[in-house]
Amino acid sequence: MNDVLKRLVIGRALRSDKLGETLLPKRIALPVFASDALSSVAYAPDEIFLTLSIAGLAAYSFSWKIGLIVVLVMLTVVASYRQNVHAYPSGGGDYEVATVNLGPRFGLTVAAALLVDYVLTVAVSISSGVQNAASAIPAVEGHEAVVAVGLVLLLMAINLRGVKESGAAFAIPTYGFMFAIIGMTVFGLYRYAFGHLPDVESAQFSIAPTSEFSQGFTGLAAGFLLLRTFSSGCAALTGVEAISNGVPAFKKPKSKNAATTLLLMGTVAVTMLMGIITLGNVTGLRFAEFPAEQLLRGGVPVGDGYTQHTVISQLAAAVYSDVRPLFYVTVAFTGVILVLAANTAFNGFPVLGSILAKDGYLPRQLHTRGDRLAYSNGIVLLAGFAIVLIVAYDAKVTQLIQLYIVGVFISFTLSQIGMVRHWTRLLRTEKDPAARGRMGRSRVINGFGLVMTGVVLVIVLITKFTRGAYIALIAMAVLFVLMQGIRRHYDRVRAELEPEDVNPPLPSRNHAIVLVSKVHAPTLRALAYAKATRPHDLTALTVAVDAEDARALQDEWDARGLDVPLTIIASPYREITAPVLEHVRDYHRSSPRDVITVFIPEYVVGRWWEQLLHNQSALRLKGRLLFEPGVIVASVPYQLRSSDRRRGDDDPTSSPGAFRRLAP
């Protein structure tokens, strides 16, 4: 049944040589890797208007200027990453750039920042999508966290089916969102040009500034608010780095296709971002951080009874006031793309985790591909962390987004430093004038990108640190230390496993001990197997918890004429593990160069609840004996009838011991 459910969820397993068939063309790679960056325009304008509202309507005149600066930064970052994918097409992305050019510590810093950012991408995107859905589906209101968790699990299941399958599933919603937003912008500006564009629902309100700006939008407070608004608007840049991490997933020529996809993504994203900001200004949009207190109707706060819909929802309602179905189409695609934006992280996190695992910084299991040739363990791990965040913050985007973008700009900045050093190093040895010209231009682009991303990073740290960004920084620091600890562990294990002698000395003798609880078929099989190993000496060992049971065991042992001596250890405190350990240690102390092999009979059962009823003492003993030097533990399985069903064997005569059981 488990196998049937697994195949229904993720499909049939793929052979390793089918990996080439999972590579992506540009038309599929765009929705796979760019959905995060494209979808961020659904909440980045919200953050710009929301932050400016703190100073009242006077600050709204800066919204389009902030938008243009964000566009400049995005285009700079896109141009910089086009250099990255050509220089480092292996898929390591920022981590590889920083490690090669700045050193392992900087690479690990970038890796920690990206891993945290990927988790936040899932949490923020899913939560934002659910909030947009709540504006059109009243049943979702009040249950955002539950719906968000369900969507994370759904995305996890889809991605477990493989990159190409998930990309094909997400292509239509992603392209639908692009056409919906661009179409809304074009139609809205058309109506505005001819005087037919109505105001949005919130245009009837005025905005009361907070007490900090009660005297007007001036001074240092105004400057700081503009910086904070800019840092919030830079959420539109998240996801740009995902393509540089996913170059190996592209069809050949990989670097060229990845660079083209980056350019397409950047062009579409900035167009949609400025379109939304422009429509918001011409339709009289009001979007407040504290709508119940800040939004005023006739000078009176609207109160808690007013529900503030998202920016896109309000704009779509105004633009499509005469074509209501298109409003629902726009809101639906927006909600879906915000959910699917998390798919960028589901592709980036597992790949980066695999590279880190290969380098020894994360558990090796993350480097293993699953049945569908996706990094399944990384996908499941990402989903688990995202669910924890969604539940902890109750799927509230305004709170989650304060933790956001810190990590991505740390990776942006370090990556640009690394690329500048990369081109500088190559220019020292390159003699060809044409090649030097290309490298010089690339260094200028990456240098300008370094200045822009470095400035944004400083602004983000200043404006968002006390509002929650410190939590993300702490998470990065913890992850950094954890990955260093994992690497030290693997290095220590590798050193210990290195053979000191090609031909190690053989043990002098092998003492065999068979643990016995009763004289039954599993015990007799263990005795037979122990004899087959031809040990120097062989004894059976039992612990006498009850004196009467011990005498009965000895009597049956003698009655069967078993030719193996039985040793009975008294245990007045009813301990089993400790007496066995002490007996084994005595053996080892008396002959340190000898090997002691302990044979443990075990039942093999087929049902999960049967596992709880059997073999618990054997498990405890094995767990303790494994730490004893000079001791080898051998499990001797005995298959019970229920184990047939676990093997999928319908023939009752095909399992070991079956003929003996069927014999009269």
Q: Is residue 505 part of a domain?
A: no
Does residue 197 contact residue 188 with C-beta atoms inside 8 Å?
yes
Residues near 31 by beta carbon (within 8 Å), at least 6 away in sequence = 167, 170, 171, 173, 174, 175, 340, 343
Spatial distance between the Cα atoms of 164 and 347, rounded to a whole number of angstroms: 11
- pLDDT tops 60 at residue 426: yes
Label the pairing between strands 300-301 and 510-515. unpaired
pLDDT digits (tens, 9 = 90+) for 25-36: 788 888 777 777
Helix axes 163-193, 26-39, angle to 10 degrees: 60
Phi and psi (nearest 5°) for 400? Answer: -65, -35
Lowest mean pLDDT among 50-64, 213-227, 582-596: 213-227
Q: Across residues 570-580, what is the average pLDDT?
A: 86
- The string of DSSP letters for 386-423 reads HHHHHHHTTT-HHHHTTTSSHHHHHHHHHHHHHHHHHH
Task: Looking at the structure, tell me whether residues 128 and 234 fall in a common domain.
Answer: yes
CA distances from 214 to 208, 226, 573 (A): 8, 16, 78
Q: What is the pLDDT of residue 16?
A: 56
Task: Looking at the structure, tell me whether residues 472 and 589 fall in a common domain.
Answer: no
CA distances from 197 to 184, 185, 186, 272, 308 (A): 12, 12, 12, 19, 21
- pLDDT tops 80 at residue 582: yes
Task: Looking at the structure, tell me whether residues 288 and 256 fall in a common domain.
Answer: yes
**Sequence letter at residue 463:** T
pLDDT band at 653 (very low <50, low <70, confident <90, very high): very low
Q: Across residues 226-254, what is the average pLDDT?
A: 79
Question: Which of 51, 463, 507, 517 has the alpha carbon at shortest distance from 289?
Answer: 51
* Structural domains counted in the chain: 2
User: What average pLDDT does the chain have?
Assistant: 83
- pLDDT tops 60 at residue 4: no
Q: What is the pLDDT of residue 491?
A: 92
Spatial distance between the Cα atoms of 349 and 377, rounded to a whole number of angstroms: 11
Q: What is the pLDDT of residue 454?
A: 87
Q: Is residue 637 part of a domain?
A: yes
CA distances from 183 to 41, 165, 330, 364 (A): 15, 28, 9, 47
pLDDT digits (tens, 9 = 90+) for 351-379: 888 889 989 999 988 887 776 667 888 88
pLDDT digits (tens, 9 = 90+) for 467-523: 777 888 899 999 999 999 999 999 998 888 777 766 767 778 889 999 998 899 999
Task: Looking at the structure, tell me whether residues 471 and 514 fall in a common domain.
Answer: no
DSSP conformational letter for 361 = S
Q: What is the pLDDT of residue 546?
A: 86
Task: Looking at the structure, tell me whether residues 332 and 249 fall in a common domain.
Answer: yes
Q: What is the pLDDT of residue 183?
A: 94
Q: For the domain that residue 587 is a member of, what is the CATH number?
A: 3.40.50
Q: What is the pLDDT of residue 19?
A: 53
pLDDT band at 660 (very low <50, low <70, confident <90, very high): very low
Task: Looking at the structure, tell me whether residues 601 and 481 fall in a common domain.
Answer: no
Q: What is the pLDDT of residue 105?
A: 93
- pLDDT tops 50 at residue 218: yes
- pLDDT tops 50 at residue 664: no
pLDDT band at 460 (very low <50, low <70, confident <90, very high): confident
Q: Is residue 2 part of a domain?
A: no
Spatial distance between the Cα atoms of 140 and 646, rounded to a whole number of angstroms: 42
Spatial distance between the Cα atoms of 632 and 619, rounded to a whole number of angstroms: 15
pLDDT band at 655 (very low <50, low <70, confident <90, very high): very low
Q: Is residue 497 part of a domain?
A: no
Does residue 332 contact residue 343 with C-beta atoms inside 8 Å?
no
Helix axes 63-87, 406-429, angle to 10 degrees: 50
Burial 166-191 (b: 16+ CB within 10 A, else e): bbebbbebbbbbbebbebbbebbbeb
Task: Looking at the structure, tell me whether residues 546 and 432 fall in a common domain.
Answer: no
pLDDT band at 76 (very low <50, low <70, confident <90, very high): confident
Q: Is residue 646 part of a domain?
A: yes
Does residue 316 contact residue 135 with C-beta atoms inside 8 Å?
no
Task: Looking at the structure, tell me whether residues 521 and 448 fall in a common domain.
Answer: no
Instruction: Please count the other Cβ atoms lying within 10 Å of the Cβ belonging to residue 438.
Output: 15
Q: What is the pLDDT of residue 346?
A: 84
Alpha helices in 161-303 (DSSP H): 163-193, 219-233, 242-245, 254-282, 291-294
Last residue of a domain, one of 441, 457, 489: 489
CA distances from 114 to 158, 176, 238, 409, 410 (A): 22, 28, 10, 9, 9
Q: Across residues 527-537, what is the average pLDDT?
A: 93
Q: Is residue 274 part of a domain?
A: yes
Q: What is the pLDDT of residue 656?
A: 45
Q: ∠134-135-136 over CA atoms, to 5°?
A: 90
Last residue of a domain, one of 437, 460, 489: 489
- At residue 562, the 3 state secondary structure works out as coil
Q: Residue 212 sits in which domain range? A: 25-489
Q: For the domain that residue 335 is a member of, what is the CATH number?
A: 1.20.1740.10
Q: What is the pLDDT of residue 634?
A: 93
330-335: long-range contacts, CB 8 A cutoff, minimum separation 24: 330/180, 330/181, 330/184, 331/132, 331/133, 331/135, 331/136, 332/136, 333/173, 333/176, 333/177, 333/180, 334/42, 334/129, 334/132, 334/177, 334/180, 334/181, 334/310, 335/129, 335/130, 335/132, 335/133, 335/136
Q: Across residues 138-163, what is the average pLDDT?
A: 82
Task: Looking at the structure, tell me whether residues 546 and 430 fall in a common domain.
Answer: no
Q: What is the pLDDT of residue 657?
A: 45
CA distances from 508 to 280, 521, 537, 631 (A): 85, 32, 12, 14
Q: What is the pLDDT of residue 172?
A: 83
User: pTM score > 0.75 for this model?
Assistant: no
Lowest mean pLDDT among 30-34, 186-190, 540-544: 30-34
Q: Across residues 208-226, what is the average pLDDT?
A: 78
- pLDDT tops 50 at residue 651: no
Task: Looking at the structure, tell me whether residues 571 and 455 fall in a common domain.
Answer: no
- pLDDT tops 50 at residue 654: no
- pLDDT tops 90 at residue 647: no
Q: How many helices (H) and strands (E) does the chain have?
A: 27, 8
- pLDDT tops 70 at residue 416: yes
Lookup: tokens for 539: 């004894």
Q: Is residue 282 part of a domain?
A: yes
pLDDT band at 255 (very low <50, low <70, confident <90, very high): confident
Burial bucket for residue 597 (CB in 10 Å: 0-12, 13-18, 19+): middle
Last residue of a domain, one of 456, 489, 522: 489
Residues near 364 by beta carbon (within 8 Å), at least 6 away in sequence = 357
In what side-by-side order are the strands of the sheet with 206-207?
Answer: 206-207, 295-297, 300-301
Spatial distance between the Cα atoms of 367 and 609, rounded to a whole number of angstroms: 32
Q: What is the pLDDT of residue 371?
A: 64
DSSP E strand boundaries for 268-341: 295-297, 300-301
Spatial distance between the Cα atoms of 199 and 211, rounded to a whole number of angstroms: 28
Task: Looking at the structure, tell me whether residues 310 and 447 fall in a common domain.
Answer: yes
- At residue 247, the 3 state secondary structure works out as helix
Lowest mean pLDDT among 130-139, 527-536, 651-660: 651-660
Pick left, alpha or beta for residue 275 (phi over 0 → left; psi -120 to 50 → alpha; otherwise beta): alpha
Q: What is the pLDDT of residue 13?
A: 60
Spatial distance between the Cα atoms of 29 and 168, rounded to a whole number of angstroms: 9
- pLDDT tops 60 at residue 531: yes
Question: Tokens 């399985």 correspond to what residue?
Answer: 637
Task: Looking at the structure, tell me whether residues 592 and 450 fall in a common domain.
Answer: no
Q: Is residue 87 part of a domain?
A: yes
Q: What is the pLDDT of residue 659?
A: 38
Label the pairing between strands 595-604 and 510-515. parallel
- Element housing 512 (H / E): strand 510-515
